[in-house]
Amino acid sequence: MPTVIAVDAMGSDKAPKPEVEGAILATRHYDVRVLLVGREDKLREEMALHPAAARLPIEIVNATEVIGMDEKAASAVRSKRDSSMRVGLRLVREGTAAGFTTAGNTGAAMATAKMVLGALPGVDRPALAAVFPSSKGTATILVDVGANVDCKPQNLEQFAIMGEMYSRSIFNIPRPRVGLLSVGEEESKGNDLTKDAYPLLKRLPINFVGNVEGRDLYNGNADVIVCDGFIGNVALKVSEGLVEAVRFLLKESLKSTISSQVGFLLSKKAFADFKKRLDYAEYGGAPLLGLKGVCIVGHGSSNGTAIKNAIRVAAQFADSKINAKIEQEIANEKMAHAD
Amino acid sequence: MPTVIAVDAMGSDKAPKPEVEGAILATRHYDVRVLLVGREDKLREEMALHPAAARLPIEIVNATEVIGMDEKAASAVRSKRDSSMRVGLRLVREGTAAGFTTAGNTGAAMATAKMVLGALPGVDRPALAAVFPSSKGTATILVDVGANVDCKPQNLEQFAIMGEMYSRSIFNIPRPRVGLLSVGEEESKGNDLTKDAYPLLKRLPINFVGNVEGRDLYNGNADVIVCDGFIGNVALKVSEGLVEAVRFLLKESLKSTISSQVGFLLSKKAFADFKKRLDYAEYGGAPLLGLKGVCIVGHGSSNGTAIKNAIRVAAQFADSKINAKIEQEIANEKMAHAD
């Protein structure tokens, strides 16, 4: 039986083109059935451009409203009851689809998913996980980058459980090294939050490697790093900004060399490769962990391949039963420290 | 009258070589007199390698102890009463020197400076300011990167006053744009700290541009950005880690191209240029703002030129009377809202 994935067909910057392409690629490559959720007329039109895809397991589910990239999450979620996000997530809640993916407004996706699917029992705050490429060719998962601000130590504890399970189930790391993002390696270094979270993480049945620092996001020293969502958001956006600045400054430096043309072309290619590695869309998007259901958030600039990858990750999430495992681990942890 | 700057001659990774070279360069280029603080025998030996420098205004001040790069700040400060840092900062306190610079252990420098010099009246927490290069060729000052964790809104308010004065006095920006680091531009976005700090910054007589995001550290949208020191430390170290990863991944990508040799050599040069621009040592080090005295912290890997720059910045700080101005601004602010 193919895994059924609902896709927000109106999410990305160039929707619905990348979504339709991604659905075609995914249904050709993987054992999945795709429900494309969005304006039926537009989707029929776009599908008609791919006559060879007519026999692929792709269906259209109508949703009349679209949440824009710059809309405020809270009001969009409340007012647009027939948005492609909301309809797609409803398909997951009612069991028609095993997972959902969107390349739309991240804030709205998080808010809608929390409302429609709800959190897993025992999970106080679902969290968004992003993947960072390391200089060793490995990947490091950072949880939370979804702006869960003013976290409590217990939130970080749950982020650690969820991130560890993500690394094991999807990245197949047998015993992920889990670090706590702080300002020094010693247990005594950090702020009130990390100092209180440290003992909670230490007693978990995971491979906790203690405090890690900002630079460990990119050197492969940890497979999973947990932090308050304010910090995670800053880390993600500082990285995006720096990559842009590096591109600019490298270009500028290369202009001043003799063989500037050659150097520029070469580094342009190298840079495109690099950006691809940095972009979390290439990893198939960022999962929202801790929900009663699978929801993968891709980048607004997703192309067909990125959507295909997000569909694959959504199917992997559904097939791996990661949510049931997270629920179990969190219940175990609560039992172990019930007193 | 030349400005007298005390230099920790035992601070950098390769001390005292870069410090002696930096002192020679600085006294040749600027109207400064340098007091090299450290082990007299070692310094005499090093100075003897530069016979032409014998007539420059450089003096040696003996200090028998050295604080190592990996020593814990708190214990080093307490136990080593004759360290080059402590002796150098004492020269500032007693008025023999107008400023001090060290390329040694940042934590120890901060702790020693706070203890020996003390904070300016009205300043609750002195802060470390780092300079980030923007893709527009400008510089953005981030305060605090010195791990002042668990800040209160009033701390951020003071960071804004101090950072703005730094930008005006040293970078000659007439009306610096000051931003508050958050997770979204709207006033309503952020955590408890930023939401409480926002109105305090808004009422200051500065050019407050509201919330900025992580990417604004590198795009020139603000001249000064304030944040809790935990966040600032993470932003700084994420940047350092990413630059390393970029170098590695670019090299890897370039290996796979035909003219890899050319491309590699070119990007190596470009990269060295870029790192130089990113490295705050090139800006002459990071100042500790809010102290009763001038203290500039350089990078451990400083070479002679970086030390020279740090001496220049220390002299600029002293000559610009920035501390008196900060004290005045903070007093004004307290008066304005004394109710």
Reported confidence tier of residue B267, pLDDT bands at 50, 70, 90: low
Chain A hits for B241, CB-CB cut-off 8 Å, are 214-219
- Please report the residues numbered 245 through 264 in chain A whose beta carbons come closer than 8 angstroms to any beta carbon of chain B: 245-250, 253-254, 257, 259, 262-263
Q: Element (H or E) spanning A4, and its range?
A: strand A3-8
- B299 has pLDDT over 80: yes
Per CATH, the number for B128-279 is: 3.40.718.10
**Measured distance CA(B90)–CA(B107) in Å, rounded:** 18
Tokens for A313, please give them.
Answer: 């990750």
Closest by Cα among B161, B165, B167 to B141 = B167
Band of residue B157 on the pLDDT scale cut at 50, 70, 90: very high
Going by pLDDT thresholds of 50, 70 and 90, the confidence category of residue B283 is low
pLDDT tens for residues A18-35? 999 999 999 999 999 999
pLDDT of A80 higher than 90? yes
Amino acid letter, B234: V
pLDDT at B243: 82
- Extended beta strands in chain B, E state: 3-8, 32-38, 58-62, 99-102, 127-133, 139-143, 177-181, 207-212, 224-226, 286-289, 295-297
pLDDT of A223? 97
Whether A166 and A160 have beta carbons less than 8 Å apart is answered as no
- For residues A114 and A108, give the distance between their C-alpha atoms in angstroms, rounded to a whole number: 10
What pLDDT sits at residue B269?
65
Distance of alpha carbon A37 from alpha carbon A11, whole angstroms = 10
Chain A contact for B232 (CB, 8 A cutoff): no
Say what the pLDDT of residue A69 is. Answer: 86
User: How large is the average pLDDT for residues A80-91?
Assistant: 97
Per the model's pLDDT, the better-predicted residue between B281 and A300 turns out to be A300
More confident residue, A168 or A261: A168
| Of B133, B150, B219, Cβ closest to residue A244 | B219
Residue B74: which pLDDT band, with cuts at 50, 70 and 90? confident
Range of weakest confidence among A173-182, B63-72, B96-105, B273-282 = B273-282
| Interchain contact, A242 vs B237, CB within 8 Å | no
Sorted by sequence, the CB contacts under 8 Å of residue A275 that are 6+ apart come out as: A243
Give the β-pairing of A3-8 and A99-102.
parallel
Lowest mean pLDDT segment, chosen from A108-117, B14-23, B239-248: B239-248
How far apart, in whole angstroms, are the C-alpha atoms of residue B5 and residue B23? 9
Higher pLDDT: B139 or B50? It is: B50
Q: Give the separation between CA A177 and CA A145, rounded to whole angstroms.
A: 19
Mutate to test the interface with B, among A242, A259, A264 (most CBs of B within 10 A): A242
What's the pLDDT score for residue A139?
Answer: 87
Quickly state the pLDDT bin for B244 (edges 50, 70, 90).
confident
- Does B262 contact A267 at a Cβ distance shorter than 8 Å? no
Q: Do A234 and B231 touch (CB under 8 A)?
A: yes
Distance between CA atoms of residues B339 and B330, nearest Å: 15
Whether A338 has a pLDDT exceeding 60, the answer reads yes
CB environment B119-156: b (16+ within 10 A), e (fewer): bbebbebbbbbbbbbbbeeebbbbbbbbbbbebebebb
The reply to whether residue B249 touches residue A135, judged by beta carbons under 8 angstroms, is: yes
H helices of A50-105, in order, are: 73-79, 84-93
**Dist CA A23 CA A306 (whole Å):** 10
- Confidence band of B274 (pLDDT split at 50, 70, 90): low
**Looking at residues B229-256, what average pLDDT do you find?**
82
Q: Is the peptide bond before B8 cis (omega within 30 degrees of 0)?
A: no
- Residue A274's pLDDT is 63
B250: which chain A residues are within 8 Å (Cβ-Cβ)? Answer: 267, 270-271, 274
B199 touches chain A (CB under 8 A): no
Contacts with B133 from chain A: Cβ below 8 Å: 245, 249
Q: What pLDDT is recorded for position B271?
A: 65
Confidence (pTM): 0.91
CA distance B241 to A242: 11
Per-residue pLDDT reduced to its tens digit, B164-213: 999 999 899 999 999 999 998 888 889 999 999 999 999 999 999 999 99
Q: Which sequence spans correspond to the domains of chain B?
A: 3-123+290-326, 128-279
Of A245, A271, A274, the CB nearest to B135: A245
State yes or no: pLDDT of B4 exceeds 80: yes
- Chain A residues with beta carbon closer than 8 angstroms to that of B243: 242, 246
CA distance A226 to chain B (A): 13
The predicted pLDDT at position A22 comes to 97
Task: Tell me if B135 and A270 make a contact (CB, 8 A cut-off).
Answer: no
Residue B248: pLDDT band (50, 70, 90) is confident
The predicted pLDDT at position A262 comes to 60
For residue A216, which residues of chain B lie inside 8 Å, CB to CB? 241
What does residue A181 show for φ and ψ, rounded to 5 degrees?
Answer: -70, 120
Does the beta-carbon distance from B267 to A269 stay under 8 Å? no
**CA atoms of B160 and B143, how far apart (whole Å):** 8
Q: Average pLDDT of B319-328?
A: 95
Name residue A250's amino acid: L
Label residue B257 by pLDDT band (50, 70, 90). Answer: low
pLDDT of residue B183: 93
- As given in the structure block, the two tokens for residue A261 are 């043309």
Tell which residue, B289, B286, B324, B332, has the closest CA to residue B306.
B286
Window from A18-22, A160-164, A260-264 with minimum mean pLDDT:
A260-264
Look over chain A and give the mean of its residue pLDDT values, rounded to a whole number: 90
Q: If you count them, how many residues does chain A have?
A: 339
Give the distance from residue B290's alpha carbon to the nearest chain A alpha carbon, in angstroms: 22
| pLDDT value of position A75 | 85
Closest CA to B194 of B206, B210, B217: B210
Residue A11 to residue A66: CA distance in whole angstroms:
8
Residues of chain A with pLDDT > 90, as a percent, come to 73
Which chain B residue has the Cα nearest residue A236?
Answer: B214
Among B129-133, B170-174, B276-280, name the one with the lowest average pLDDT.
B276-280
Tokens 């050197």 belong to which residue?
A219
pLDDT at B19 over 90: yes
Which CATH homologous superfamily contains domain A3-123+290-326?
Answer: Isopropylmalate Dehydrogenase (3.40.718.10)
Residue A174 has pLDDT above 90, yes or no: yes
The proportion of chain B whose per-residue pLDDT surpasses 70, expressed as a percent, equals 89
The pLDDT, as a whole number, for residue B246 is 76
- Contact criterion met (CB < 8 Å) for B234 and A237: no
pLDDT above 90: residue B328: yes
CB B47 within 8 A of CB B20: yes
Mean pLDDT of A191-215: 97
pLDDT tier, A263 (very low <50, low <70, confident <90, very high otherwise): low
- Domain at A127-279, CATH homologous superfamily: Isopropylmalate Dehydrogenase (3.40.718.10)
Q: What pLDDT does residue B52 have?
A: 92
CA distance linking residue A221 with residue B197, whole number of Å: 35
Q: Is the dihedral of CA A236, A240, A241, A245 positive or negative?
A: positive
Same CATH fold, B128-279 and B3-123+290-326? yes
Q: pLDDT at position B137, please?
A: 75
**Interchain proximity B263–A270, CB inside 8 Å:** yes
Nearest CA in chain B to A248: B135
Q: Distance between CA atoms of B214 and A5, rounded to whole angstroms? A: 33
Cβ separation A235–B240 shorter than 8 A: no
Of B133, B218, B238, B265, the C-alpha closest to A267 is B265
Question: CA of A242: how far to CAs of A178, A218, A254, B143, B194, in Å?
Answer: 25, 13, 18, 18, 23
- pLDDT tier at A205, thresholds 50, 70, 90: very high
Tell me which DSSP letter residue A134 carries: -
Query: Which position has the higher pLDDT, B64 or B265?
Result: B64
Asked if residue B281 has pLDDT above 60, the reply is no
Q: Which residue of A lies nearest to B276 if distances are taken between CA atoms?
A: A249
d(C-alpha A54, C-alpha A24), whole Å: 9
Could A249 and B133 be called an inter-chain contact, meaning their C-beta atoms sit closer than 8 Å? yes
Chain segment A102-136, per-residue pLDDT in tens:
999 988 999 999 999 999 999 999 999 998 887 77
Please give the DSSP secondary-structure letter assigned to residue B33.
Answer: E
Q: Is the pLDDT of residue B95 over 70?
A: yes
Q: Minimal CA–CA distance to B296: which of B277, B322, B330, B327?
A: B322
